[in-house]
Amino acid sequence: MEKTRKDLVYLNGMYKRILDEINVGVHAVDETGKTIIYNKKMMQMESMDFQDVMDKNLLDVFMFKDDQSSTLVKALQEGKETSNVKQTYFNNKSREITTINNTIPIYSDHELQGAVEIANDVTKLEKIIKGNMKKGTTKYTFDHIIGTSTAIKEVIETAKRATRTSSYVLIVGDTGTGKELFAQSIHNGSDRLSGPFISQNCAALPDNLIESLLFGTKRGAFTGATDTPGLFEQANGGTLLLDEINSLNLSLQAKLLRVLQEKTIRRLGDTKDMPIDVRVIANMNEDPIDAVANNRMRKDLYYRLGVVTIFVPPLKDRKEDIPLLLEEFIEKYNERFQMQVKGLSEEVKHSFFEYDWHGNVRELEHIIEAAMNILMDGEDFIMYRHLPYQYRNKMQMKERMMPLSTVETFMKETGDVTVPLKEQLELFEKSYIEHVLKKNDFNISKTAKLLGLSRQSLQYRLKKLNFEVNPL
C-alpha cells in the first residue's frame, strides 16, 4: 500500500526517536561528506552539539591524525564496508575521541549516496584501562600509617593479621581516613606483594562499562568489542581493590558475588570460565549495616566480603594522633618545598583540637600544605592567619553556633513536657530566619546567602512558616 505523506512524517519521527534512544553512535553523511544524520549518543561521544555538526562537512568539524583518515570519508572514496576499525581523532574543541566503528557505504541504484558510521565509544574504557595500568604500583606499607591512639593501633593490628591469609577484606571509613593506605599496606604486607595491585573506583563509571572493565570482553560480545582482559584477570596473583563498592548496582553485586564464591570469571560474550586467584579488598565510606538496610548493598555480598572488616576511625575520634600527623606532614612539605618550618603556633594547635575534621587525615594534610604555601621566607611557625580561608571560615562558623551548653540548659528548663521535633525545629527556624532578616534590612538575597540557602529556598521557607514580610 502506498504510504501517505502523513505516514512518512510519522515514521520519520519514529526513526529519529529510535536513533536517539539507542546506545551506539550513528553518523551519516551524503556523498559530499556533509552530515545528514547525527544521533544523540554520537553527540555525547564526540562532545558536540547537534548544530555544530549537522549540515556541515565532516572534515570541517573533526581533525584526524596524519596516519589515520576518517573511516566515513574512506567509505565514500572507496565504496567499501569496514568493520571494527578503531579510530582516534579530535573534535573542534581539541578533545580526543576514540571509537570503534562499522562503516557502511549507502548505494541507491548502484550509485553511491553517502555513508553511515555506527560507533562504540571506547575513549573512557581506554583511559581507565591505561589509568589502572599505571596505578599498578603501590607506595604504602604499614610503616606509612601514622598514629598511636588505641583506636588506630587496634585497626592496624587487625589489618596486619589479614596479611597472613587471602581472605576478602572490607574496609569501612569516612573519606580521607586512610582506606587506600590500609588496602595497599595489606597487599604489600602479604605474600602477594610481588603480584599486581589494581584499584578501581566503582562509582566513577556507568554500569555497562564497569561490567566489561571488571570481567573483560570477548571479541564480538557487542559491536566493537575486542578481546580484552578485565581487571580480575589483570590482578591475577595479586590484589584487586574495589573502591566505593556500595555504589555498584545490585545486579552487578550479584555477579561479583558469584566470582568471589566460585573464583572463576567469564569475559562478557564468552562461554568459558577462567579460574582466577585474586584477593579482593573492598572499600566503602558508609556503614555496611546501613547500606544493607537501605538496599544499597546485597546482604550476601556483605557476608562474603566482610569476612575481615576493618573500621577505620574518623580523625575526630582520635585527635591524640594529630600531633604526630602534623610532624609527619610538616617534614614532608619541608622537604618538598625546601623549607625549615618548625611547627605551629599554640593558637593553631588549639584550633586543630576543636575542629571536626570531616575530611579527616586528607584534610589535615591539605591544610598544612596550603599553609606552607603561604608562609613567607623566614617565618618558622604556622600561624592562624596562614591557614586557608575555608578552614578559618568553618572555625568561625563553629564558634558562632549556639553552644551546646545553651541547648542543654534549655532542655533542662523544659522539664517533663516534650514537644514534637518538627514544631520545635520550626519555631527555632522561624525566629532565627527573622533575626537574620532584620539584621540585613529584610534583604532576601543577602539573608539567603548568609544562611546558605538559595533565594527560592528562603522564599519557600518564609511562605511555609507564614512570615509577614514583603521580600525586597
Ligand X SMILES: Nc1ncnc2c1ncn2[C@@H]1O[C@H](COP(=O)(O)OP(=O)(O)OP(=O)(O)O)[C@@H](O)[C@H]1O
Residue with cell 553527540: 43
- Taking contact as CB under 6 A, which single stretch among the options 87-95, 175-183, 185-193, 439-447 is the one that binds ligand X? 175-183
SS3 content of the chain, % helix, strand, coil (to 5): 50, 20, 35
Residue 127 CA to chain centroid, in angstroms? 15
- At 213, the amino acid letter reads L
Residue 23, by phi and psi: left (phi above 0), alpha (psi -120 to 50) or beta?
Answer: alpha
| Interatomic CA distance for residues 91 and 45, integer angstroms | 10
How far is 298 from 334, CA to CA, in rounded Å? Answer: 46
3-state secondary structure of 108: strand
362 binds, among ligand X, Mg ion, none (CB under 5 to 8 A by kind): ligand X
361 near ligand X, rule: CB under 6 A: yes
By CB under 6 A, residue 176 contacts ligand X: yes
Q: 147 vs 238, which CB is nearer to ligand X? A: 147
Which does residue 175 bind out of ligand X, Mg ion, none, counting CB within 5 to 8 angstroms by kind?
A: ligand X
* Identity of the residue, 142 or 467, whose beta carbon is nearer to ligand X in the bound complex: 142
Per CB under 6 A, 145 contacts ligand X: yes
Single out the segment in contact with ligand X by CB under 6 A; choices: 143-151, 217-225, 298-306, 339-347: 143-151
What is residue 299's three-state secondary structure?
helix
CB of 319 to Mg ion, least distance (A): 22
Residue 181, contacted partner among Mg ion, ligand X, none, CB below 5-8 A by kind: ligand X
Give the residue carrying C-alpha cell 574504557.
Answer: 125
Q: Which is nearer to ligand X, 178 or 216 (CB)?
A: 178
- Which stretch in 34-42, 86-94, 170-178, 264-272 sits in contact with ligand X by CB under 6 A? 170-178
Does 169 bind ligand X (CB under 6 A)? Our answer is: no
Query: Which residue reads 581539541 in cell numbers?
Result: 94
Which of 117, 180, 233, 321 is in the footprint of Mg ion by CB under 5 A?
180
Which span (54-62, 120-128, 174-182, 454-462) binds Mg ion, by CB under 5 A? 174-182
414 binding partner (options ligand X, Mg ion, none; Cβ < 5 to 8 Å by kind): none
Q: Is 367 exposed, middle or buried (0-12, 13-18, 19+ CB in 10 A)?
A: buried
Q: Check the CA dihedral 271-273-279-281 and report its sign.
A: positive
Angular region, 132: left φ>0, alpha ψ -120 to 50, beta rest: alpha
Name the binder of 87 from Mg ion, ligand X, none, CB < 5-8 A by kind. none
Tell me if 173 contacts ligand X by CB under 6 A: yes
Q: For residue 83, state whether it binds ligand X (rule: CB under 6 A).
A: no
> Total binding residues for ligand X by CB under 6 A?
16
Q: Is residue 362 near ligand X by the rule CB under 6 A?
A: yes
Q: Which residue is nearest to ligand X (CB)?
A: 178
C-alpha cell at 378: 623566614
Q: Residue 437, SS3?
A: helix
Q: In sequence order, which residues have a C-beta less than 8 Å from that of residue 224 and are 6 or more positions away?
A: 84, 99, 100, 101, 102, 119, 120, 122
Under rule CB under 6 A, residue 100 binds ligand X: no
| Antiparallel, parallel or unpaired: β 111-121 and 96-108 | antiparallel
Q: How far is the CB of 10 from ligand X (least distance, A)?
A: 51
Rg (CA), the chain: 30
Q: Does 233 bind Mg ion (CB under 5 A)?
A: no
* Short-list 333, 312, 344, CA closest to 145: 312
The H or E element containing residue 242 is strand 239-243
Q: Please identify, using beta-carbon distances, which residue of 104 and 181 lies nearer to ligand X.
A: 181
Give the one residue of 46, 211, 233, 365 binding ligand X; rule: CB under 6 A.
365
Candidates 55-63, 106-114, 140-148, 295-303 — which segment interacts with ligand X by CB under 6 A? 140-148
Among 117, 121, 180, 233, binds ligand X (CB under 6 A): 180
The span from the CA of 184 to the CA of 193, in Å, is 10
Q: Which of residues 284-313 bind ligand X (CB under 6 A)?
A: 285
- Identify which of residues 285 and 345 has a Cβ nearer to ligand X in the complex: 285
Q: Are the C-beta atoms of 59 and 92 separated by less than 8 Å? A: no
* Alpha helices by DSSP H, 273-402: 288-293, 299-305, 322-337, 346-354, 360-374, 389-400
Residue of minimal Cβ distance to Mg ion: 180
Residue 288 interacts, among Mg ion, ligand X, none and using kind-specific CB cut-offs from 5 to 8 Å, with none
Q: Of 126-134, 245-253, 357-365, 457-465, which part binds ligand X (CB under 6 A)?
A: 357-365
Q: What residues numbered 259-288 form the site for ligand X, per CB under 6 A?
A: 285
Residues that bind ligand X (CB under 6 A): 144-147, 173, 175-181, 285, 361-362, 365
In the complex, the residues that contact Mg ion under the rule CB under 5 A are: 180
